[in-house]
Amino acid sequence: MSIVQVSGEGQRRTFDGSQVQSIAEQVFSAMIDDDPSALVLWAGLFPDLEDSMDAWVDVTGPWTGRVALTTELTTAHDLSRALLGMGPEEPVGDDDVADAFGEVANVVGGNVKTLLTEVGRLGLPQVADAAPPMAGTVLHELRMAWRGRPLAVIVTAAE
């Protein structure tokens, strides 16, 4: 995985994909599953996501970019149920999914932002069928499995 170097205010910081992976694993373990093995790197060929849902936060400041999570809609619903302490078959509304999945992206994004620079702003979390395009470079695309289901964490640097 590539290493990103960010300079600003006399400071230089670096981060790599393993740090993003560690952040995602810690966030999921703390917020969703008390089990650190519930979110792991995907083994094998990552499947095409059917009926996908994205949650993302944009970072602005000396470094501008986006931290996004993408998964299938059913997984986003199950993730929301787990975060909200709901039963596995309990109905979850669209607003609850947007709030819960967005909050997970917000916490992952906020932790990634601390790797980049102390100066900068984290935008409000957004959730949609697809994140709007961002011109830039994908720095890290971590293909992961949450409870055996595909979930990607993508860090993009804006142009």
pLDDT digits (tens, 9 = 90+) for 75-87: 999 999 999 999 9
DSSP state of 43: P
Interval 114-136: pLDDT, tens: 887 566 899 999 999 999 999 99
21: left (phi over 0), alpha (psi -120 to 50) or beta: alpha
Residue 51 has pLDDT above 90, yes or no: yes
Query: Once rounded to an integer, what is the mean pLDDT over residues 9-36?
Result: 82
- Percent of the chain past pLDDT 90, that is, above it, reads 75
Listed in sequence order, the residues at least 6 apart from 135 whose beta carbon sits closer than 8 Å to its beta carbon are 158, 159
The type of residue at 93 is G
DSSP state of 45: P
The type of residue at 156 is T
Task: Give the integer Cα–Cα distance in Å for 1 and 102.
Answer: 26
DSSP state of 44: S
> What local confidence, expressed as pLDDT, does residue 117 receive?
58
Residue 47 has pLDDT above 60, yes or no: yes
